Structures are given as structure tokens and as C-alpha cells.
Amino acid sequence: MYKPIEIDRTQLTMMGVPFPDLQTLNSVAQAIGSNMYEGFEPTEKLIRLYLDVRAGKIDDAHFLAALKEAL
């Protein structure tokens, strides 16, 4: 079942994870929300990981390794 997550567009946070700007927050929220309808249950750690990939802080190989670890 779909369970809403905490998004604060004033403070630019999702589940307590800070975002650099509203556009990035909305983009990530939309991507995560779409996956939640398929049964994905995000955690703070997974949101941080996704944000790091989006910001270019880690590459795909490191993302996949960290994702396996997080799940």
C-alpha cells in the first residue's frame, strides 16, 4: 500500500534529507513517488544515496554497490 513520505518544500527536505533547491527536491520526490506505487519503500539512507547520484557525487557502479548494501 502507498504510504506518503514527509516532504517539506519550505525547508527543502524529504524525510529529513536536505536538498540544494526546490527543483531537485521536486524531481527526486516525483521519481521516488512513482516507484512507491510499485511497492518501493524509501528510507532516509536511500534518499541520500539517490541524491548523491543525482548530484554526481557517486557514479553508477558505486550507487549499485551502496544500494545492495542499503537493501
Say what the pTM is: 0.79
**In the block, which residue shows the cell 551502496?**
66
Look at residue 1 and tell me if it is in a domain.
Answer: no
Please give the pLDDT value at position 2: 62
Please give the pLDDT value at position 8: 96
Average pLDDT in the 22-29 region?
Answer: 92
The answer to whether residues 42 and 5 touch, using CB atoms and an 8 Å cutoff, is yes
Total domain count for the chain? 1
Please give the pLDDT value at position 50: 85
Look at residue 2 and tell me if it is in a domain.
Answer: no
Q: Is the dihedral of CA 30, 37, 15, 6 positive or negative?
A: positive
Q: Distance between CA 35 and CA 21 in Å, rounded?
A: 22
Which residue range forms the structural domain that includes residue 27? 7-70
Mean model confidence pLDDT for the chain: 88
Q: Distance between CA 52 and CA 46 in Å, rounded?
A: 10
Average pLDDT in the 26-33 region?
Answer: 89
